[in-house]
Structure 1
């Protein structure tokens, strides 16, 4: 049967992504991800109708999980597609359409369009839901929200959830403001910091046991643990997790630079190095410049399209230096705000959703220092870290 291969621009990104490591990184072959531990979950799928929450990262070596299970005779009754689609070829924020997988004829249901949570009709006849996607450990990276919505819907419909765990490439630190009540959104559902330091399996256990699902409901959850992984593992992702995380440098910088998506700054979308360069026409000094352009799948009509932007180029930062980052960098945000020629419109409403509250925005406007802002996070971070301990598997 024809395999689900990553084609075109996604294949090119895959090649770049797997080639960007250094000798200090742990090879992905040394870590056995949950998907590879087939003896732990295949027996549970016998004579069951199965749903798969997957994307282009859901592979066993070079074989997609859809193909692997299909060839094993597993009765796959539905594929549930997150942001960017189940093949990873849909631009950020664009709705994903439901369709039918051309190789297998399996129905594909969108969880990033009209519905963000599976409906009872989508789940009809399903006995077991499998979640297998590569997360990057950041609150506003939407795959964990897709997972918890699937958990909630599965609990409401008596369906077991099996999470095939994968490494968190930023799992060695926790930082940033914790989401506050009233600021829940599609990019943040629960009170966790921007960088949470948990694998998807650990996070699923937290959400389930802390009663965060609707009405405190709990799902029948099983996490297939990895082998040879710890939270200090510098894991190089073998497959591109989303179109604009072009390589591991983008992954390491993503939590901090993505905050610009809620500000009057281009975050590198519309370039070959998203989240590694960032700038705006008004910024000084003008030592570095670039011009954002529309790129299919990656960035259609990015901020300041066709305009010369001045700012920072972090693309040449040594990998070892990026791996030593253990905090959410807000110095760039403060710098651009201070140099903005339209401070009243510098922040967009989206910024508070990214930050998890209106506090960070108000602190920057008030002129608080980076140190003062960080200090304001500490009590919430300490409480979260204490809670997190209960759910760590590695």
Structure 2
């Protein structure tokens, strides 16, 4: 069984002197489902001075982009909670005042557009500026630490769903991303990683035997974290990514898709592209909120049959291309704003480039998609190899 950084902290804290802040969320638990706030408070007592929360709030109760959380005082713990998805994404000097260390204990899902890694790097920047040590309590990458997918982010398309030059599926833990930030992104804070014990790069979340608590409202289980790599891009379109259903980010559709008619073509396309490890099942569903709420959508549920073979980024891009040409004028790219970006198209900041959107529009080939994916990849892999912990 894997032991998280939070568990290791219980035995490895004697040299953490002074006052402590704790950046956490609903999934910051130990192996017995005890919340990290209780664990940290049991270790440091009154030296735990402040709590910080990322997007989706301390309780993972807040929906998707640009739905902010307020700062508040937690009555049970009698501690201030500073939201880092509010009027600021970067902690202010006042928020860090009186702290000697900030513990960061967030369950990431291994995808570039998931914002917790950027909450971490903003915290690292702020701590560097205010002489506060950053201590990462490391956790598993639930979709594994080996497979890399997707194009590298073009800095022209930086946003809060893409601050750094990463592929969509980066294959790193939070601690490893922090190491990358310090070594290659020049965020020179005082950094310490409290490592996991027993985690192997080829493990998926269920291999760790750790309990899962949803890190955000639409990722209720670790299986969804896999399809998320490809389905999240539909946030940049008028295609429903299943929000408002019980299978969010595993189910995609639109009222105008003729899912049974399109299905044979999709299967042939996947076969010719070598996309295996999944079954695409035609479904109809009615979202209760967000896109097409109250309307019947037709589309597909992605059932993963082999998690090692499944390539969700390529699957998502191929589906987007096919839906674009199948729906014609009924397909739309979502317009700004999105994640506080007022000018760039949401699909382009989700993809970290405009090249993939242009590939979709031009009905490009799989080989052309692979060419886009490979730009800058060797440089990224070289940098990544220098910072891997496990």
- TM-score category, normalised to shorter length: 0.7 to 0.9
Whether 1:264 and 2:238 are equivalent positions in the alignment is yes
Whether 1:49 and 2:19 are equivalent positions in the alignment is yes
Per the alignment, residue 227 of structure 2 pairs with 253
Please point out which of 210, 217, 238 is paired with 2:212.
Answer: 238
In structure 2, stretches of 5+ residues that fail to align are 261-281, 336-344
Please point out which of 45, 55, 58 is paired with 1:83.
Answer: 55
Q: Name whichever of 381-390 and 113-122 sits farther off.
A: 381-390
Residue 70 of structure 1: how far off its partner (Å): 1.7
CA distance in 1, matches of 2:348, 2:52: 29
State the TM-score, normalizing by the size of structure 1. Answer: 0.85
Specify the SS of the correspondent of 2:298.
strand
Closer, same or farther: CA 160–391 of 1 in aligned 2, 3 Å: same
Whether 1:134 and 2:107 are equivalent positions in the alignment is yes
Residue 40 of structure 1: how far off its partner (Å): 5.4
Per the alignment, residue 74 of structure 2 pairs with 101
Q: Deviation per CA, 1:187-237, whole angstroms, max 9, x where unpaired?
A: 110111111110000010001111x2xxx4400001111111111012236
Residue 74 of structure 1: how far off its partner (Å): 4.8
CA distance in 1, matches of 2:146, 2:330: 35
Whether 1:70 and 2:57 are equivalent positions in the alignment is no
Whether 1:229 and 2:229 are equivalent positions in the alignment is no
Per the alignment, residue 375 of structure 2 pairs with 379
- Kindly report which structure 2 residues correspond to 1:54-203, keeping only aligned pairs within 5 A, or say none: 54-60=24-30, 61-72=32-43, 73-93=45-65, 94-170=67-143, 171-203=145-177
CA distance in 2, matches of 1:161, 1:379: 32
Q: Name whichever of 358-367 and 148-157 sits farther off.
A: 358-367
Per the alignment, residue 266 of structure 2 pairs with none
Whether 1:289 and 2:284 are equivalent positions in the alignment is yes
Closer, same or farther: CA 74–172 of 1 in aligned 2, 3 Å: farther
Specify the SS of the correspondent of 2:52.
strand
Specify the SS of the correspondent of 2:319.
helix
Per the alignment, residue 361 of structure 2 pairs with 365
Instruction: Report how many residues are paired.
Output: 350
Per the alignment, residue 294 of structure 2 pairs with 306
Please point out which of 334, 348, 361 is paired with 2:321.
Answer: 334
Residue 238 of structure 1: how far off its partner (Å): 1.8
Q: Deviation per CA, 1:131-171, whole angstroms, max 9, x where unpaired?
A: 00100010110100000000000000000000011110122
State the TM-score, normalizing by the size of structure 2. Answer: 0.86
CA distance in 2, matches of 1:363, 1:268: 24
Per the alignment, residue 27 of structure 1 pairs with none
CA distance in 2, matches of 1:225, 1:187: 26
Q: Name whichever of 116-125 and 340-349 sits farther off.
A: 340-349
CA contact (8 A) 1:135 1:141 kept: yes
In structure 1, stretches of 5+ residues that fail to align are 1-29, 295-301
Q: Deviation per CA, 1:25-73, whole angstroms, max 9, x where unpaired?
A: xxxxx00111111255421334x11111000111122211111222332
